[in-house]
Structure 1
Amino acid sequence: MSFNNLDALYRQVIMDHYKNPRNKGSLEDGSLTVDMNNPTCGDRIHLTMTVKDGKVEEAKFDGEGCSISMASASMMTQAIKGKDVETAYKMAEIFSDMMQGKEYDEDIDLGDIEALQGVSKFPARIKCATLAWKAMEKGLKENE
């Protein structure tokens, strides 16, 4: 697949997650809650997760922001559901490396998240893409 076709496909995946977000909403009763924002662009996220026996059983988000921020939150919640906490942290590390343009561990399938690779070329947008991931890490650390 040519670069232009791949780029177009990635844009489609990002827009699909933005227009049809997965796991939008919030959880009640005993869930972890994290609120974070990116003051430079106004993105904000309200992330709720249910963690039991070292596993992320459920994750939902609400908030507002650019297409990259909201698509990343949708992809992240979809990716971590059902994963153990250690794997969720590893996915956050891989995502961070990808956003910095570094080589990253491909042992874990990132699925749709790979569509955000191109964000690394736009330093001003990296904070948009990483907001949900930082919220997830913060919530898991507070839960330890």
Structure 2
Amino acid sequence: MSSNNLDALYRSVIMDHYKNPRNKGTLEDGNLTIDMNNPTCGDRIHLTMKVEDGKITDARFEGEGCSISMSSASMMTQMIIGKDVETAYKLSHIFSDMVQGKDYDDEIDLGDIEALQGVSKFPARIKCATLAWKAMEKGLKEE
């Protein structure tokens, strides 16, 4: 697939998650709630997770922000539901390395999240892409 076609596919995936976010809303029985914002651009997220026996059994988010921030939150919640806490941390570190343009463990299928790989070309957008992931890490550390 040519670079232009791949870029178009990635933009399409990002816009799909932005316009049709997965796991957006409130989680009434969540036991972790985290609010974070990115003061440089105004993105904000309210993340609620349900963690039982070391496993993330559900996650929902609400917030406002750019397409990168909100699509990343959508993709992240899809990826972490059903994962144990240790795996969620590992995925967060892999994601962070990927969007910073660093070498990362590509043995794990990141699915739609790979669409955010191009963020590494725009350093100002890295904080947008990682906001939800940082919120997830913060919540798990507090748990």
Corresponding residue number in structure 2 for 1:97? 97
**Equivalent residue number for residue 28 of structure 2:** 28
Q: What TM-score comes out, normalization by structure 2 length?
A: 0.98
C-alpha deviations, 1:50-82, integer Å up to 9, x for none?
Answer: 000110000100000000000000000000000
Structure 1 length-normalised TM: 0.98
Note the alpha carbon deviations across 1:11-60, whole angstroms, 9 max, x for none.
00000000000000111235200000000100000000000011000010
State the alpha-carbon separation in 2 of the partners of residues 125 and 40 from structure 1. Answer: 10
| Identity %, equivalent residues | 84
Report the secondary structure of 2:86's partner residue. Answer: helix
State the number of aligned residues. Answer: 143
> Does 1:69 pair with 2:75?
no
CA distance in 2, matches of 1:29, 1:112: 27
Stretches of structure 2 that go unaligned for 5 or more consecutive residues are none
Matches within 5 A, 1:48-127: 48-127=48-127
Deviations along 1:75-114, whole A, 9 cap, x unmatched? 0000000001110000000001001101100122111000
Which of structure 1's runs of 4+ aligned residues deviate more than 3 A?
none
Give 2:45's aligned residue.
45
Amino acid of the structure 1 residue aligned with 2:65? G
